């Protein structure tokens, strides 16, 4: 397969995943901001959305100040935000279009449908319409993932698309967790207090895992258990360990198909071994924030290794 | 469906006419809406240059097929093969011994100073002496006495994806109509193309040559077609950046390392194909490609330099060219043409500009032309000035009474002018024509301009069996 084709598939996967993640962040912020709490909580919710998406410097540099309106507009549509939902879907579609022949008709229609829908829905500002917009974005990522898994041959095209999704998802889960743990609780609020509790449950909702949490732990929501679920639990499809497992299996399939392993495979499987040996107590002891920062760096290094090995 | 204004229904249309008679009144409109929805969902679009708003537009599709009888097609096919055979022989001669210039068939200056003549190709011989692997010949019919060639497209003719997609669409929309007609299938085109390209591979390429389609990229107006063809051929769609040349061999960059490329079906103009040989600022080409080409290590389809054969000034010499190279009279006629480079002709043209169609010699896409009868006085005068300033750049033709075909217009059928572009494939194994073509239709009443960039649409073209 052409390296450029692999690159476009990989980025189609990453951008579609990112669009979904942004929709989830915005949805959670709307819920948090609706809490009957002090004004501080509202601002915190929207500031948290900016921080979790990793666009704080761009947002600040644009001269905007944090408010529901400005954050919604910036993350969903911001013409000056190169990773807004709109930008992500547009880039995913541009990438997909440039490798149209590597996609099944169903997958292309799902991606093209996301882009058509984006143009039809415009840039809604009313809260109801905006929520519909977010629902639409989430439904497109399901459609894309479903179309790819149901219709694509299990060959390199599929592995590169899925690899992009898995690497992006790992990055997104890590950021979510870090922001909640490190930044979110405003001064004066008690750890374990009502706002804190609500924030943790919202985090679980963001990754569609509130019900899963109750099934797994049968306890009220506790920070270290949420972290355990999102970092180490292999049953949880968005956990760092699960994402890492997917990354390893896609890379191994590529290695088998091509008959050659490389630095990306070695890097990925070393990390998976570390997950298998890790315990959440140890992670907390040495600091969750430090752990996540380390994870994000390694995830980036892995992405760079994939790039180097296959995509140029 | 009325031939030359005779007011009767052509035989080839009789079954369709009877079928339409019995169809519910709004059926065609409903099918038409369905077609548009489907084309949009599939992203079958083309880009219009300088039109930022509707950067991806659908070409309007008319659901009423254009039907050509078996006998009529038989004659056309023979004429097309003759014409393209002559064009290949002409190119071989121009870039070889130049007998036709010495024999006075075409003037030397017209060839040697032609912007599409490539001196770099002088003395070169592509595999099998095939220069024009893919040709799209534009035809119009003006009455009972058959078809005229409007122009030969022998550089990178486009539109074949519409021939194929329109058929798919029609089979989906009107399966029962196909049951009542014996329509020859067009989908063999991609198979013919693949075999044709394989047969054109350089001698060192081995049993199973690697073929690619080279596109300028997603922003090109015909990108959809490029990706469509690559898909149907089952070959990679590459951009310039995907290819590199090492030791006079062309490779593509793949996830498994470099892979040798033997045949390039290129949809990039000569000017842009290799920045080391032609336009140095081309960002879509492949540096060094021409040196691999000259070394005989890769086939380009079409060959470099074919544009000298489809230039509108050279067109006027085609009847003589065909006679010279095939020893036969041309089966397909040329439209009578005044060469404005000749003083007598220019004088005559200036005397009746309001009756003529005047075209720029190097123009395409319906731009830069004057349609006398439908132009205002001011437009004609402006054009007159251009023509006098640079007569060499223009040819003039009579306004033809083009044939019309029934076309859906609101709720009913109206006659609209059509042309036809069949596709002709050449390889060392022979010349073949796909049974069909792209029918373009001028959707505006009375309009003669069928180009998609100027509001033209397309129709499915049916060639009937027996």
User: Are B242 and A6 inside 8 Å of each other by CB?
Assistant: no
**Does B211 fall in a domain?**
no
- Note whether residue B80 is domain-resident: no
Distance, in angstroms, between B275 CA and closest chain A CA? Answer: 21
pLDDT at A32: 80
Q: Which residues of B touch A (CB under 8 A)?
A: 40-43, 217-218, 223-224, 227, 230-231, 236-239, 241-242, 252-256
Percent of chain B scored above 90 by pLDDT?
64
pLDDT at B50: 42
Kindly tell me if the per-residue pLDDT of A304 is higher than 60: yes
pLDDT at position B336 is: 87
Task: Report yes or no on B114 lying in a domain.
Answer: no
Q: What is the CATH number of the domain that holds B390?
A: 3.30.1490.270
ipTM of this complex:
0.78
Give percent above pLDDT 70 in chain B.
Answer: 93
Among B210-224, B353-367, B408-422, B432-446, the minimum mean pLDDT is found in B353-367
- pLDDT greater than 70 at residue A186: no
Residue B376 lies in a domain: yes
Who among B217, B224, B253 is closest to A3 (CB)? B253
Residues A39-66, mean pLDDT to the nearest whole number: 87
Binary contact (B231, A108; C-beta < 8 A): no
Q: What is the pLDDT of residue A40?
A: 67
**A100 to chain B: closest CA residue:** B227
Question: CB distance B242–A2 less than 8 Å?
Answer: yes
Residues of A in Cβ contact (< 8 Å) with B40: 116
Q: Which residues of B touch A3 (CB under 8 A)?
A: 242, 253-255
Q: What is the pLDDT of residues A82-139, one digit of tens each?
A: 999 999 999 999 999 888 878 998 999 999 999 999 999 999 999 999 999 999 999 9
Domain span at residue B376 reads 336-399
Give domain status of residue B204, yes or no.
no
Number of structural domains, chain B?
Answer: 1
pLDDT digits (tens, 9 = 90+) for B152-168: 999 999 999 999 999 99
Predicted pLDDT of residue A60:
94
pLDDT of residue B54: 46
SS3 per-residue string spanning chain B: CECCCCCCECHHHHHHHHHHHHCCCCHHHHHHHHHHHHHHHHCCCECCCCCCCCCCECCCEEEEEEEECHHHHHHHHHHHHHHHHHHHHHHHHHCCCCHHHHCCCCCHHHHHCCCCCCHHHCCCCCHHHCCCCEEEEEEEECCCCCEEEEEEECCCCCCHHHHHHHHHHHHHHCHHHHHHCCECCCCHHHHHHHHHHHHCCCHHHCCCCCEEEECCCCCCCCHHHHHHHHHHHCCEEECHHHEEEECCEEEEEECCEEEECCEEEECCCHHHHCCCCCCCCCCCCCCCHHHHHHCCCCEEECCCCHHHHCCHHHHCCHHHHHHHHHCCCCCCEECCCEECCCHHHHHHHHHCHHHEEEEECCCCCCCCEEEHHHCCHHHHHHHHHHHHHCHHHEEEEECCCCCEEEEEECCEEEEEEEEEECEEEEECCEEEECCCCEEEEECCCCCCCCCHHHCEEEEEEEEECC
B241 has a pLDDT exceeding 50: yes
Q: How large is the average pLDDT for residues B120-137? A: 95
For B254, the closest of A2, A98, A109 (CB atoms) is A2
> Which DSSP symbol is given to A307?
I
- Domain assignment of residue B366, yes or no: yes
B346 lies in some domain: yes
Q: What is the reported pTM?
A: 0.82
Q: Name which of A37-51, B11-25, B189-203, B394-408 the model is least confident about.
A: A37-51
Question: Would you say residue B360 lies in a domain?
Answer: yes
Which stretches of chain A sit within 8 Å of chain B by CB? Answer: 1-6, 94, 97-101, 105, 108-109, 112-113, 116, 156, 160, 254, 258, 260, 310-312
Average pLDDT, chain B: 89
Predicted pLDDT at B3: 43
pLDDT of residue A288: 86
> Residue A38's pLDDT is what?
61
Q: Is there a contact between B164 and B190 (Cβ–Cβ < 8 Å)?
A: yes
**In this model, does residue A41 exceed pLDDT 80?**
no
Q: Least CB-CB distance to B227: which of A3, A100, A105?
A: A100
* pLDDT (tens digit per residue) in B42-53: 766 655 444 444
Instruction: Say yes or no to pLDDT of B451 above 90.
Output: no
């Amino acid at each position: 397969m052409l390296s450029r084709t692999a690159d476009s598939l990989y980025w189609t996967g990453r951008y579609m995943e990112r669009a979904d993640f942004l929709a989830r962040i915005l949805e959670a912020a709307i819920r948090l901001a609706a809490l009957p709490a002090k004004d501080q909580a509202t601002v915190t919710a929207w500031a948290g959305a900016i921080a979790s998406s990793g666009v704080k410097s761009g947002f600040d540099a644009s001269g905007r100040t944090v408010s529901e309106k400005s954050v919604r507009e910036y993350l969903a549509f911001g013409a000056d935000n190169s990773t807004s939902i709109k930008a992500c879907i547009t880039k995913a579609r541009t990438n997909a279009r440039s490798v149209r022949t590597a996609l099944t008709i169903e997958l292309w229609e799902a991606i093209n449908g996301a882009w058509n829908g984006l143009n039809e829905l415009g840039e809604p500002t009313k809260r109801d319409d905006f929520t519909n917009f977010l629902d639409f974005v989430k439904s497109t990522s399901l459609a894309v993932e479903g179309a790819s898994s149901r219709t694509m041959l299990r060959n390199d095209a599929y592995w590169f698309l899925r690899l992009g999704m898995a690497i992006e998802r790992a990055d997104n889960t890590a950021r979510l967790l870090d922001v909640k743990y490190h930044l979110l609780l405003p001064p004066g609020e008690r750890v374990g207090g009502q706002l804190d509790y609500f924030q943790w449950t919202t985090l679980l909702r963001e990754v569609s895992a509130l019900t899963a949490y109750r099934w797994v732990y049968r306890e009220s929501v506790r920070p270290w258990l949420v972290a355990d679920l999102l970092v180490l639990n292999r049953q949880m499809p968005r956990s760092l360990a699960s994402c890492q497992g997917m990354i390893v299996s896609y890379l191994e399939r590529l290695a088998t198909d091509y008959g050659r392993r490389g630095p990306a495979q070695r890097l990925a499987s070393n990390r998976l071994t570390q997950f298998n040996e890790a315990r959440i107590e140890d992670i907390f002891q040495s600091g969750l924030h430090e752990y996540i920062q380390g994870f994000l760096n390694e995830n980036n290094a892995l992405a760079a290794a994939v790039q180097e090995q296959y995509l140029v | 469906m009325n031939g030359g204004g005779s007011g009767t229904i052509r035989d080839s249309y009789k079954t369709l006419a009877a079928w339409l008679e019995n169809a519910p009144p709004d059926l065609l409109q409903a099918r038409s809406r369905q077609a548009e929805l489907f084309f949009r969902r599939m992203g079958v679009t083309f880009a219009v240059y300088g039109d930022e708003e509707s950067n991806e537009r659908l070409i309007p599709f008319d659901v009423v097929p254009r039907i050509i009888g078996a006998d009529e097609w038989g004659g056309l096919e023979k004429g097309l093969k003759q014409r393209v055979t002559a064009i290949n022989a002409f190119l071989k001669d121009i870039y070889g011994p130049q007998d036709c210039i010495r024999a006075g068939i075409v003037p030397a200056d017209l060839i040697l100073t032609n912007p599409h003549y490539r001196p770099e190709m002088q003395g070169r011989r592509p595999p099998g002496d095939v220069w024009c692997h893919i040709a799209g010949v534009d035809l119009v019919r003006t009455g009972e006495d058959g078809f005229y060639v409007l122009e030969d497209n022998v550089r990178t003719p486009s539109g074949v994806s519409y021939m194929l997609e329109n058929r798919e669409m029609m089979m989906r929309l009107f399966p029962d109509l196909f049951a009542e007609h014996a329509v020859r299938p067009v989908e063999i085109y991609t198979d013919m193309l693949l075999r044709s390209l394989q047969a054109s591979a350089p001698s060192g390429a081995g049993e199973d040559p690697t073929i690619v389609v080279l596109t300028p990229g997603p922003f090109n107006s015909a990108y959809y077609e490029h990706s469509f063809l690559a898909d149907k051929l089952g070959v990679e769609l590459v951009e310039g950046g995907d290819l590199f040349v090492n030791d006079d061999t062309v490779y593509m960059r793949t996830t498994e390392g470099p892979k040798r490329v033997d045949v390039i079906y290129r949809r990039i103009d000569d000017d842009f194909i290799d920045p080391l040989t032609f336009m140095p600022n081309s960002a879509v080409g492949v540096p060094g490609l021409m040196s691999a080409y000259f070394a005989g290590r890769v086939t380009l389809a079409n060959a470099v330099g074919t544009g000298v054969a489809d230039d509108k000034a050279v067109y006027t010499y085609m009847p003589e060219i065909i006679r010279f190279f095939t020893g036969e009279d041309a089966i397909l006629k040329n439209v009578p043409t005044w060469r404005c480079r000749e003083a007598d002709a220019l004088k005559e043209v200036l005397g009746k500009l309001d009756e003529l169609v005047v075209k720029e010699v190097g123009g395409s896409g319906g731009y830069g032309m004057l349609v006398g009868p439908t132009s205002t006085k001011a437009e004609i005068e402006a054009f007159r000035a251009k023509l006098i300033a640079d007569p060499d750049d223009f040819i003039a033709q009579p306004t033809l009474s083009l044939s019309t075909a029934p076309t859906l217009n609101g709720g009913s059928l109206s006659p609209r002018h059509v042309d036809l572009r069949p596709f002709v494939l050449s390889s060392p194994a022979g010349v073949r024509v796909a049974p069909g073509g792209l029918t373009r239709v001028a959707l505006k009443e009375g309009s003669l301009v069928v180009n998609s960039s100027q509001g033209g649409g397309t129709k499915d073209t049916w060639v009937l069996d027996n």
